[in-house]
Each structure stands twice: as structure tokens, then as C-alpha cells.
Structure 1
Amino acid sequence: MAEVPIPTCRWGIITTGLISSWFVADLVAPRSDAKARHVIQAIGSSSLDKSKGFAAKYLKDAASAHDPALYGSYAEVYSDPNVDCVYIGSPHGFHKRDCLAAIAAGKNILCEKAFTINAREAREVFDAAKQKGVYIAEAMWLRHRPMVTELRRLLYEDNVIGEVFRTASDFQMYLDMAGLPSTSRYKDIDLGAGSLLDIGIYALTWAILTLEPKAPAQREMPKIMAAQSFVDGIEVTTSVVLHYPSSGRQGIVSSTTERKNGASQIVATIDGTNGFVEVEGSAPSHPRSFTVYPKWTGDEKPQGKKYDFDRPQQGFIYEADNTALDLAAGRKESPVMPWSETIRVMEIMDEIRRQGGTKYSVDAA
């Protein structure tokens, strides 16, 4: 029987910042388990020099690297007929603008999280994509990881810790707000500044992934209790309790830009009636492993079974593979992160901000 060839996806990369560098580095790294072939077809930035510098730094040593078209604008990437899908790595305050421009050009899109500033913007982007008939998905890479698939299987098929009743996740990242320049996106309220949309979304995602056993389309909206703290008008700390009325499960979600975390930590804890799980990594966005423990009843921590998912790539390759497979199958939405789920997460964060007091200019639009 002839081997079915894997699909090829030719990517146009928008912006040349840190998140785009991680994405590109993952795509061009050698691997033996590829589900798709990825080609960096084009790179667009605010200047041609930035695109040239990005390609020289991140593509020069890649054995599989293709010489991409280098552009000094985003529009040139959108109009490049050889680009199959655009990866948008701009700050979330620009996502609506960049998505609508790419959609207008008829391009498929994988857009970084947070997908937009609020749920209203997300609906506007999805409506435009539906009218144009293009694929678009939020690049919440946690949801695509094999680690998450295995963890959810253990929790809700094998019931390894009994009935799940609580998850806690905290994302810490220190920013010297007083020392940042006034031009920093971290201080620009119009660009969605604050810990919640930038890093808190990862802690929130851990709660959603481990407390909700059903498929995205069947998941309930939790009750939300939230508080936020501010420095110079910018939200720096968010604390949230999620409560699921149908099951009684609770999520404890928090984020702060006022504290630096260590290089290795427990990034999420899932509690069940017969045991618990600790997810290990450098941050909730960068998990490496998880350990399943029996119920802790004595003085000493019990022995657990570790599941290690550490590998050279950071983990962007999984969402890229799934995007390529979606496009090859003719899908317009990701089954892993469908449009309705992106909107639901944005609605949860809208409510957290409403209770906490964070208001962006686009909220009133």
C-alpha cells in the first residue's frame, strides 16, 4: 500500500518578535514525527531590515530552511500568492487589525493568543472569515500538546485520581513597570496591557482543560468571581475563582507581573478524590511533564508516576501540524480550538475584567 504523503503548509510570518522567533525555530527544527511539512515562505515586518535580520538569525542554520520572501510590510505577505497560511505573532492589541487585513486578502490564519481584546472583536473577526471563506484559528498551543491529550485521558477515561474537583494555576512574570518606557505595550491600555490577556490566559486554560471533560462545543460557562490590582492604571495582578454548577468543580486562577518565578516550578495542580496531579515546567505556558500521585493521607508526600514530555522543540509544532492538517482537509475551523471556544474564553476574560475593573477603549465600541 502506497504511503500517503504528508501535507505541506507554506507560512507567511507576521512580525519578527520573540513569539514569532519561537514559532519559526520549532517549524524548521529537525524531527522524526512530522505530521506535515512546514515551509517559511515569507516574512513581514515593519521594515525590510528587520525581516532580513530575522531570517539571518533564525533560518541560516536550518537544514530544511527555504529562502523566504522578505518584506518590509505585512500587506506584502498577505498578497503573496505562495503563502498558504499567515501566522500572526503581533501583540494582541493588533490582532483584530491584522486578522481583518489578512482575511480581506483571502489568507488562512493562525493567530496568537489572546485572540483579540474582547469577545466582540473576536466575533467580528470570525464573521469576516466566514464571509470570506478562509480558515482561522487561535494559536493556543497548550491545547494542541500531546501532554494535554494524555493528561485528559488519564483524568477522564482512566479516572486516575478519582473525581476531579479542583485545579489551581498561577503565572508569575516580573515587569519593572516604573522602568519600562512609555512606548512599551505593557503600559499601553489601548493595546490590552495587563497580566490577564498576556499571561493569565495560560493559567485559565489549564483550569478549562482539566476541569471540563466534555468537547469544547458542550462545555458550560462557569460562574466567575474575580479581583484585580493596578499600578499606574495597568492591571498587574488578577485572581479568579471559577465554579462549575453542574459538577461543583472549582478553578483557582491567578497571574501577576509583580513577581519573578524560578526556572522550574509546579505550574498547575489538579486535585481529585483519590489523588492529585502536578504539572511541572518553567511557566504555565511551558509545561514539560506531569506527575500523578495517589491521595496524600500521611505526613510524607506519596510516590508518584511521572510522564515526561520534554523535547527540543518548545511545542509550537503541534499547533502548526494541526493547522496544516486542517487546511489539507478543507476545514475552516480548528476542532481543537473552534471559534465558539475562543469566544467563550474571551467572554470569561471579559467578565473577569468587568469584575476586576480593567476597561479598554474598545470595550465601549
Structure 2
Amino acid sequence: MVYNARWGILATGGIAKTFVKDLLRDPKARDTNDVTHSVTAVASSSSKTRAEEFISDINIPGNPTTYGSYDELVADPNIDIIYIATPHSHHYQNARLALESGKNVLCEKSFTVNAAQTKILVELAKQKKLFLMEAVWTRYFPLSVQVRELIQKGEIGEVLRVTADNSIGQGGWDQSHRMLNLDLAGGALLDLGIYSLTWAFQTLYHTLPLSQRKPPSSILSTMVKTASTGADEDTTMLITFPTTTPSNNLQRTSHAVAMTAFPVDSNPDKQNSARPAIRIQGTKGEIQVDGPAYRPERYRVISKTREGEPVKAVREVENVFPSNGHGMYWEADEAARCVRDGKLESEGMTWEESVVIMEVMDEVRRQHDLVYPEKIESTDYPIKL
């Protein structure tokens, strides 16, 4: 039997629009035959009219219910999963509202603004036996799955080093823009750096068996802040892991360099001439992933050639996005399957891993005294933001 996941959409901004458009695409076009999706309710905190305009703009079928408050949305009995699409400054309050109301949650990344908030959400989901997942959509791309499987099979040997860059070459925003506004937890780290960290963790951490995953043993970083608001505009992290992957038979550390910035661009001509954005380097070769780091479409496997040996052909692999989609449908499929099967968390993005990544960002912020307003950092609930 095909399971239909009934979604409630919390917030009506650009990311919500992109997500819902993907939800409405034919699952069979991406070889998904066991789950489907429908939108049964939409809420905007500004007005019910805004929710109605959102539905009309996308032409969402089925006459979804509209609400002018999030409290009304989480009380709707015809919702299986709530997708939270607010700025990450608001994720803790919004996700907790949904969980307290007995709703399963898919929450945009970064999960929250600090690890303390994430831990509370995890404990609450555990207590209430509800599904909760950070919407790190890149994790669920077939490309990402393939890269992780290549590492686990030992295709490039023991992985010792990963470099990942997600920089956009943009700026000149007004101080109120979400990228610079500390009231919205603005800055490069939480908004863009999460993707660089995603590649570091999904290759050096997630490719190990659960029992062998160990958090970073060292975190070093540099940061440049914007003069106008103090939000970070350029952050580089050097993260040391106490193991290598996939076997850790070398009994040594590995490390990742995760970079993110506004002023420079990891794909300056938008043609991937600067390829790759991610390099995964092992003892038998490397995997290169072309940018952008959040939505890559191709990678190549380069095998090590010893002196005197014939050069092995570079294996180039392209992964297109079916039905001209953005790629958010794969994480939606995963969330639907987990809810259908009674799972509280996804194996592709476990609670534990989300917490560890938040702890890394906490430490980077601590090293550079990057603090958000007290209301945003608080674990108190409820707080009106």
C-alpha cells in the first residue's frame, strides 16, 4: 500500500515555496513508488491571507486549510508532518510548539542556533515518541548516498582529508537582510557553513559504523565579521576527527577544512570552472564533487596511480534532478517513510549527529565571541520572537 504523507507548512517564504513545489512533483519520476505527499494546511504568522496567496501562487491542489497563526496549524488533526521553514533563529520555538502539540517535525537547517536547544527538541521528541529530523536535504541526494557508499566500500582507501567550500560571492545587503541580521541568527556559518560541515561529517563521520563514530578531537577556526552588524561573513574551520574512515585501521586522525564566505565564490562563473567544491582524499585516490556544495550534480573518482603503472580512467558520474525538481523531495520521502514505519529519527541524519554538528558551530562561535540576542539563544519556552 502506498503511504500518503499529509503535510502542514509552517511559514510561507521562499524555502517553503521551493519545498512544496518539490512535494507536488510526481514521485514515480524519481523511482519513488511507496510514498506520496499532499499539503493539507498552510500557516503564515502574518495573516491567513498570506497563506491563501501562498497556496494560489503554487497552485496547491486539494483545497488546503489556511491559518494566520502557527498555534492554529499545530492543532490541525489532518496533519502527519509539519515542515518548519522559518529562519533558524525561530526554529527552536516553532519546532517545540509543533512537538508539544503532538506533531512530527521536519525542521529546516540549521536545526537551531545552539546545541542546547537541539538537545531539548531531541529529548522532547523521544518522550512524546514523535519523528524529528533536521532537513539537511543534501544528505538524501542519490549523489551523496553514492559517495558515502564508495567510501564505505574502500574505493579510495582510508579517507584522511576532506576539504569543502560553500561560498557565494554576494554582499551589499542592508543591515536588516536575514544574511546579516543577528536577530535572525544571520551570518555565513549557520546559513552556508552548515553545508561545508555536512560534507565533512557525511564523509569522515557518517561513513563509520554507529559504534565507531567519535566527535571531533580538535576544532580550530578563523572568522571575519561584517562591520555593519557583527555577523560572520567569512569563516574557515579546521576539524580533526580521532579516526579515519571506513576502517580506521591506520589508527590515526583525519581532518576536514570547512569553508564558507559571502565575499568570495566557490563557483565564480556559475559554470563550475573552479571545480571541485569538495575533495575527499584517501590513500587510494580521491572523490571530487563539483559545486555548489548544497546541490551538486556531478562527481568524479580519481584512482591513485603508482609510478610505472598505467593510468586508470577517471570515472565521472552525473546525477540529474528528476522532473526538473530542486531536490528537496528526497528528504520528504525519507520523512514520510520514517513516519509510516514509526521511526523517531532518520538513519541518514541522526539526532546525535545533528547535536554534534551544532556543538561544532557553538565552539566556532565561542572562539570568536559571536553571540546572538538572548531571546534567540534561550532554551526558555514559549518566547515570542
Q: TM-score, length-normalised on structure 1?
A: 0.90
Distance (Å, rounded) in 1 between the aligned partners of 2:2 and 2:346:
18
Contact 2:162/2:280 (<8 A) preserved: yes
Amino acid at match of 1:91: P
2:88 corresponds to which residue? 92
Return 182-191 or 29-38, whichever deviates more. Answer: 182-191
Contact 1:28/1:59 (<8 A) preserved: no
In the TM superposition, 1:104-123 aligns within 5 A as 104-123=100-119
Contact 1:186/1:193 (<8 A) preserved: yes
Distance (Å, rounded) in 2 between the aligned partners of 1:126 and 1:156:
28
2:176 corresponds to which residue? 183
Give the counterpart of 1:322 among 312, 334, 356.
334
Distance (Å, rounded) in 2 between the aligned partners of 1:203 and 1:217:
24
Distance (Å, rounded) in 2 between the aligned partners of 1:94 and 1:348:
20
SS in 1 for 2:345: coil
1:203 corresponds to which residue? 196
Distance (Å, rounded) in 1 between the aligned partners of 2:57 and 2:277:
31
Distance (Å, rounded) in 2 between the aligned partners of 1:98 and 1:175:
29
2:261 corresponds to which residue? 256
Distance (Å, rounded) in 2 between the aligned partners of 1:87 and 1:21:
11
Shift of 1:303: 4.3
Runs of 4+ in 1 over 6 A off after TM superposition: none
Amino acid at match of 1:165: L
1:224 corresponds to which residue? 219
Distance (Å, rounded) in 1 between the aligned partners of 2:346 and 2:157:
30
Distance (Å, rounded) in 1 between the aligned partners of 2:49 and 2:188:
31
Shift of 1:125: 1.7
Distance (Å, rounded) in 1 between the aligned partners of 2:278 and 2:165:
7
Contact 2:188/2:262 (<8 A) preserved: yes
2:300 corresponds to which residue? 291
SS in 1 for 2:290: strand
Does 2:270 match 1:241? Answer: no
Amino acid at match of 2:49: D
Contact 1:216/1:338 (<8 A) preserved: no
Shift of 1:209: 1.1
1:271 corresponds to which residue? 281
Shift of 1:208: 0.9
Gaps of 5+ in 1: none
Alignment deviations for residues 134-165 of structure 1 (CA, whole Å, 9 cap, x no partner): 221111112222222211111221x2222221
Amino acid at match of 1:254: M
Amino acid at match of 1:161: I
Alignment deviations for residues 209-239 of structure 1 (CA, whole Å, 9 cap, x no partner): 1122214564111121111111121111100
1:355 corresponds to which residue? 367
Q: TM-score, length-normalised on structure 2?
A: 0.86
Distance change >3 Å, CA 295–CA 93, structure 1 → 2: same
SS in 2 for 1:185: coil
Amino acid at match of 1:220: K
C-alpha RMSD of the superposition: 2.0
Distance (Å, rounded) in 1 between the aligned partners of 2:9 and 2:215:
34
Contact 1:135/1:332 (<8 A) preserved: yes
Distance (Å, rounded) in 2 between the aligned partners of 1:207 and 1:130:
27
How many pairs align?
Answer: 351
SS in 2 for 1:176: coil
Distance (Å, rounded) in 2 between the aligned partners of 1:291 and 1:210:
15
Distance (Å, rounded) in 1 between the aligned partners of 2:373 and 2:50:
30
Return 166-175 or 106-115, whichever deviates more. Answer: 166-175
Gaps of 5+ in 2: 245-252, 380-385
Contact 1:277/1:290 (<8 A) preserved: yes
